[in-house]
Structures are given as structure tokens and as C-alpha cells.
Structure 1
């Protein structure tokens, strides 16, 4: 990074089930106000806004921002599937690093419908045509909702390669519930046992149970990013900064590997993480806390390996040793992750930023990871894009 970008303020509202939330612009404005208040700034200080959402009409970003204020600043609407929130964060950081602005809002929200994700525009080619074609060839299951096919198929690939038992995925889900029980902003706060996860209804026999999938969720989160000069001029906090960040899209191995792990983004995750470690001059062993994209328990498990938290094929042993939770090597998803905190698509990346910022500030209360100084964020959207961000405590 040519100059430091600091997280001056973060905000997040409690996540909710579809139908139990405010309209999207109300949720978004609430999160934005919280981030500005946390930074100690008024809306008039903002010079740009990057606003992410997946399900909404064009310029929903303006609708949300106008509730906060109408100062004529540029508002950029961002849609990058499930990595939308961190893409907004990436663009906000890039604007500051490039000198285009010194105080920028990254805002993400989603007002979702119940049930599995589906296609909205059915009168034109789907961006998932190639993904579906490869998935049809590798696993079939054409009647299963697309996200379950992709990530269930990725889990099945790992099971076939390394003998990973279904119980390993259940252990991931049970861990998420224990973490979420400490998070007042999480959607699902009931602690689950491994047996409860294993005995929940099978969505894909032998591969995936209902409790291994994240729920559709509504919510919003935001971050105010500032340059070092702006922070010093205005007396803002400089205790957490973005030390490295990278974003990648699919490469040929997504399809040429003929492996559902790569169809579901394993390759993007692996490459992006490597880029970030090289930028920051650290390795996986230096991390204290990680917020990663656990839309399914299967994806959390394979992402341990993609991020280098354990060797390839070593995820089951990593889980069995408790190295993914408090008292282990690196605490993963102390927020409860997407599995328990919830997954409002456009807000997820900024909710991860919220969690890691508080962890590195030492203000995560019951969720606090002792001595957390370096945090890694991983946010994945199929179709595809992956954003990995490394934060440091100053």
C-alpha cells in the first residue's frame, strides 16, 4: 500500500429474517449513522460513497444515502454477488490510496426474500451458465438450488479427495453457533450440538444438512475509511488500518480443473490470499483472527486450506484439534459467521469489517480474541469475485 487507509468508524444493525426487517434504505441509513457516529464525523465530511446490494433496482444506493444527507457527493452502486460488501470496501480503500478522496463511506445492505437464491432475469443469459454446465457434468442434481449444488458439490469433492467425514462440517456449524451466542447482532444465537446439526433434515443425502447452510437474511453494515492525513487533521482514531487487500476473479482453472471446489471459488480464494500475504509480508501463522465466507459449512472447511490456515487435506484434523476457535491456533468467525450471524448479501463484507475492527480495537466484548493484532477477511461471490483484506492494529 502506498499510503495507509484507516477504519475511522464502523456500524452494523442486528440482522433479521426476511419480513422482519425495515425497508432497505432505512436499514442502510441506520448502519451509516452508526459508522459516522463511531468515527465522530458528520455526513458533510464524506467525499464519496460506495454502496453495495445484490437484489434491488439501480440507484438504490442513492435512496439509502439520501436518508443520511444530500451533499451531491458521488454515489457508486456496487453489485458483485456475495462479495458485494467487500467490493465496496475495496473501491473505497482504492479511492483513498489513489488520492481521489480522503473520507469515504462503504455501505452494504440487503432486503432478501425467504428461501433459496434464484435467478431474477429469466429472459436473458445467466452469468452462471458456465458454472451450471460444469456442475451438471460433475455432480448432476439439476433440481437442487444452485448455491446448494455448488457448495455441496465442493464439500463432496473434499470428502472424496481426503476422506473428510460429514461430521467435520457439522463441527464447523456447531462452532459457529457457540460464537454467535456471544454476538447480540447475530440472527441465530441458539447453541447447537454436532448431533443436532447432523440430525437436521438432509438437503443432499450424505453431503449437506439444512443446518449446514446459512439462512436468507436482511441487514446492513457500514465503514468510514479515511486517509492518514485526514485522520490526523481531524483528530480521528488510527488504531486499525488496512495493511493489504486484493481482489481476483475467476481464472481458467475454475472450469479446467473439473473440480467442484474450484467451481465454488477455491482457486480464487487461494490466489487472493497469497497476494495479500505477500503485500503485507506475513503468513497464515501470523493471523490472530479470521472472518471468512462460510455461506455453507462446506465452504468454511475448504477455505481453511485455501487461506493456508492448515495444509491441503488437513482441515478435518484442524477442526478436531479445536484450532479454529478460542484457545486454538486462529479464531475463525468469532461473529458467528454467515452460518449464524446471517448473510444479507450486500452487507456481509462490511459486517466482517465491523467484526475485525472491533477485534483489533479490543472492543469485541464477550467475543474478544485475546491479544488480537492481525485479522484477515475473506469474502467470496460466485460468478465470480473474491476479496481478501488484512487488517492490523496500529
Structure 2
């Protein structure tokens, strides 16, 4: 399995709160189906392809019935291709990319469309099924015994905050004597929210200070509300193709981004023994996946410029910085303190101009976290950076980008991207001729979030008799973010 794989096109919708509002009640484009179709159309437009070029489809989601993927893909065409439904919890989207990568390397596909989407419930993640074994039951049982005595009287509003509160307490107990404090965890939120202001897809595009974070309502333990990512609704998509496909579609040569290394890791016995709150949040999966991805790409952590990291809680970002090899064990707090993960002069002084920009998109804490879409949104952000399109949040000298997406239970995917030509991302990427996806879209999706039109859908859907009136009879359309009345398309 030596075939090189590439991301040929990406697209996403803005992430929004699942809470019902007056505007959402009137918005026909607030269902997972409509959002997923919109992101897929954008990805195909970006790649300059139609659905007839796709030979496999993968749909990634957590909150939905079986075969939601087929419902989405059929709106683009009914071509008889294999379609898979992936539910790997929070890493569902990147698991979809991983499966596409594997299918291409195994010679089973040349061009795969991966779509991630979710319409979540407001508030903490719920347990949907109460009449069968919870797959996380062993983790939760161990977690109960690790709750600090001071926190036992206050009941956590959900199982996820308690897991991460325990891990944060353990981290502070271990590394507090060396200087780690609650302020370092709070600074993660402040940094990510500042980054998210420049991302047009962010759900929470407003800066907050460290004091704002610390003074926000307590959730459980020392974790406050602003240290948790919000529930979200949204979608993102990516077209993954082989080197052979890229060669036969020369218009993609300037915009395709190579998957230089990728690994999916699951848990080892370290998850349970010895009992550790930091290990219960899947920290070892990050270590394993990162080691393999770096080996495949033949680089080391310092070669990476930009990281999209799974910051579902600030605790997870702190621990993942160490698991990815960006900081020694117990030293991530100092990396944060020294400005080593943000756009700042302190970063340059502390790290000699190296270091990383972590979560330029704002991360999950700012951008939002519709579980199935998260991994694909991370992919889109990094593709835009490597193309030189992310002008409002660009990082000079970018040659490699890293994506980290994890799901408890467990599965963690680490992916390393680079340009197909092996060069650094251009500092200012001007519009190119017809081989530039921004010309095909008519705008730069990295700095402007728009909806799709009927004409966009018409341009990418399957041609001839490979579509059904029944599957495409009703689709709402959005232009420049403004929805208008649902109408029959045919």
C-alpha cells in the first residue's frame, strides 16, 4: 500500500448552536441533510468535479439513524457506488478520511467523497440508549472513583465534563508544584477564542479574557463553562483522491494537498491500569497515533507549523500538546505561558521563531463541535492554509500541518498534510486561472462563508439518468448565508 493520496476539495457550513431560535425555526437549512448536501456541493465545486467522478462515499455522524449517509449522497446522484456510515464518536469525521485513504491505498477506489455532519442536542452530551450496555461504562466506573473529594458534592451535568475535570485535577496535582495553574487552562480558551474571531465559520466568534474564563459559571471541579466546547450543528466535506486520479485531472495540481502521514489508534490496557484520569481521556491514543503519523511523513514535531487540535475541553488540549510531542510531559502549561501556541511576539522570542499556531480556526471551543463534522472541518482549515488561502490567519513558512481528532471509547486519528509540490504555502496566494478552486466557487471560502445555490448543485450533481426525482424533490437553498423558502427543484 504505497499509493499517495490527496485532498482534492473541501467545503463546510458555518457551525451553529442547536438551540432553537426564531430565525432557525424559519430556516429550512438547519437540518443535517441540508447542511451535509451544502458542504458536499462546496467540496465538489472546490475540486472542479461532479458526483460522477466519485467511486465511494463515506458519511460520518453520531446523532442519527442508520443510512443517513445514503439519504445525503442520493441527493447528489444514485450511481450505485459503495456508501458507508461511520460512527466513531468525536473522531467520526477523521475516521472517514482515514477509511478513504485506506481504500485508495488498497486500490479499491480512486476518488472518495467524505461528508461529516451532525445535528446535536443542546447542553452536555446525552446518553441516548438506556436499555443496553454503555460502551464507555468501564471508563465511567473508574472515573467515579477518581473524583476529587472536594468535588463529590457537586454533581456534574454530564459524564464528559466529569472525565475532563478529573484529568485537570490530576494534571494540577502532578505538575502544580512545577508551576501549572488553573490560569494556564483558562488561557487555552482565551487563545482559541481570539483565533476564532477571524474564522467566518465559528460558532463563538468573540474574544474572552483569562479572567472571563475563570469567572464563568463552574461546570464541575475547576472546569468552567468557557472551558468546554459548545454543542453544535453543522457539516463539512472532503474529496480524497489517488495520485493516478490527480494525474488525469491536471486542473487539481495547484490546489491538491497530500496526506503525508496518517494513523488511527485505539486504546491499550493503559486506559484502565493503573487508574489515571489523564489516561481515561484517551491520552495514550494520541501518543500512538502521533508517533506513527510522524514516522510515515518522515518529519518530527518541530517541522509542523500549524496544528488543528481536538480541544473539546481545555484539559484535552493541555494533555494532547504533550501527547503530540509539542511539549515534554508536564510542560505544556509552560508552552502556553510562553506564547508557544498563538500568534504573538512572545512565541517568537520563546521559541526562536519556531513553535506552533494551534487551532487557528478557533478550535472546537470557538468554532464548535458537531461531532461527525469536526474532523472534516479541521481538514478544510489546514487545506486552506497550505494553499495560501487563509489570508486572515496565515502562518508564514508553513510546510506541514497536523490534524488531531479524538473520540473516547476510543479512536484517535492524527494526520499530517503537505503541499503536493512539497513547497511552503505561498505568503499571498492570488487567484490563478481555471485551476484555482476560488475561481470555481467565485469567492475565497477560507475567509468568507457562503451558502449554495441551485446552480451550484446542478453543476456537481450526477448527469444523465443517474439521479432520481424522488431523491432530489425538495432541497432548501441558501445564497450568501440568507435562506429562502423551500421549493421543489424538479
TM band (smaller chain): over 0.9
Deviations 1:216-275 (A, max 9, x none): 000000000111111111224244100111001111000103111110010111111011
8 Å contact from structure 1 (residues 374, 390) kept in 2: yes
Q: Is the 8 A contact 2:236 2:376 kept in 1?
A: yes
- For 1:321 and 1:353, locate their aligned partners in 2 and report how far apart those are by CA, in whole Å: 27
Give the corresponding residue for 1:192: 208
- Counterpart residue number, 2:373: 347
CA offsets per residue over residues 316-336 of structure 1, 9 Å max, x none?
Answer: 110011000124310000000
- Structure 1 CA distance for aligned equivalents of residues 251 and 208 of structure 2: 41
8 Å Cα contact 1:155/1:302 also seen in 2: no
Segment of structure 1 superposing worse, 381-390 or 229-238: 229-238
Q: Deviations over 1:353-390 (max 9, x none)?
A: 00010111111120111121100100000011101101
Partner in structure 2 of residue 100 of structure 1: 108
Q: Which of 218, 228, 232 does residue 217 from structure 1 map onto?
A: 232
Structure 1 gap segments, 5+ residues each: none
Shift of 1:4: 1.0
Matches within 5 A, 1:82-97: 82-97=90-105
Instruction: Tell whether 2:170 aligns with 1:154.
Output: no
Q: Distance in 2 between matches of 1:10 and 1:114?
A: 27
Contact 2:155 2:220 in 1 (8 A): no
In our comparison, the structure showing a higher alpha carbon Rg is 2
Q: Tell me by how many angstroms 1:143 deviates.
A: 3.5
Q: Does 1:363 align with 2:389?
A: yes
Does residue 333 of structure 1 match 2:359? yes
**Structure 2 equivalent of residue 298 of structure 1:** 315
Q: Which residue, out of 267, 271, 293, partners 1:250?
A: 267
1:124-135 equivalences under 5 Å are 124-135=132-143
TM-score for the superposition, normalised by structure 2: 0.79
In structure 2, C-alpha distance between the alignment counterparts of 1:84 and 1:29, rounded to whole Å = 18
5+ residue gaps, structure 2, are 348-354, 421-490
Partner of residue 474, structure 2: none
**Structure 1 counterpart of 2:249, from 221, 234, 237:** 234
State the partner residue of 1:38. 46
Kindly report the root-mean-square deviation, in angstroms, between the aligned alpha carbons of the 2 structures: 1.2
Q: Of residues 195, 198, 201 in structure 2, which corresponds to 1:182?
A: 198
Q: Deviations over 1:35-87 (max 9, x none)?
A: 00000001111000111000100000111111222211111000000000000
Alignment of 1:50-129 (within 5 A): 50-129=58-137
1:266 is the counterpart of 2:283: yes
Report how many residues are paired: 393
- CA offset digits 1:91-132 (Å, max 9, x no partner): 011111111010101110000111111111110111011001
Q: Give 1:10's aligned residue.
A: 10
Aligned-partner Cα distance in 1 for 2:391–2:73: 30
Task: Provide runs of 4+ in structure 1 moved above 4 Å.
Answer: none
Query: Matched residues in 1 for 2:193 and 2:405: separation?
Result: 20
TM-score (norm 1): 0.98
